Amino acid sequence: MFDRELLQRPATEVAPLLLGARVSVGDVTVRLTEVEAYLGEQDPGSHAFRGPGRRNAVMYGEPGSLYTYFSYGMHVCANVVTGELGTASAVLMRAGEILAGIETARSRRGTSRTDADLARGPARLCVALGITLADGGLDLQSGRVRLELPDRVEAFATGPRTGVSGAGGGEDYPWRFWIPGDRTVSRYLQHKPKKGP
């Protein structure tokens, strides 16, 4: 089922409710096992921390839309837009288990050593599903990328977001949620500052 009213809540409330959700593109379906919440202008780790702009405009749009962006200029990552219209809030889809279309996912992720690695990590998840930057702004109820919410809330763990630097990282922001013991959950990576010249 798709419930836009549920998605109108802040990302920190919606994120654990997305664990176990199914995301489908064509013949490939992923069950989300790990997500991260980002709370817009009140969150130093969010793309919307400094307010609206061309890059983050979708985050201010209709809850249930897909927000895509390039990470490090080479990897596409995808988020479910949450919160009230006009308030930036989104949940990053970090990892998942391939439920359908595994041959297609394997062909897209030829470097994966195991099936558990196919969608382990936000960029890998997008590659396995075939999500591109052009999918940004799609309605997850009726667009090419579809979201189906789970029937029940999964047991979950929570901790710091992975790879987030500065004030948006660390124990003050335990906004990463995952299904404990699931083999598709990505390894936690603390942000490491880049070394200067």
Per-residue pLDDT of the chain (197 residues; tens, 9 = 90+): 999 999 999 999 999 999 999 999 999 999 999 999 999 999 888 999 998 998 899 999 999 999 999 987 679 999 999 999 999 999 999 999 999 999 999 999 988 889 999 999 999 999 999 999 999 999 999 999 999 999 988 899 999 988 776 666 667 889 999 999 999 998 776 644 444 44
Residue 190 lies in a domain: no
| Structural domain harbouring 17 | 4-178
Residues with Cβ < 8 Å from 12, sequence gap 6 or more? 37, 39, 175
Q: What is the pTM of this model?
A: 0.92
In a domain, 195, yes or no: no
In a domain? residue 15? yes
What token pair was written down for 99?
Answer: 């439920």
Q: 185 in a domain, yes or no?
A: no
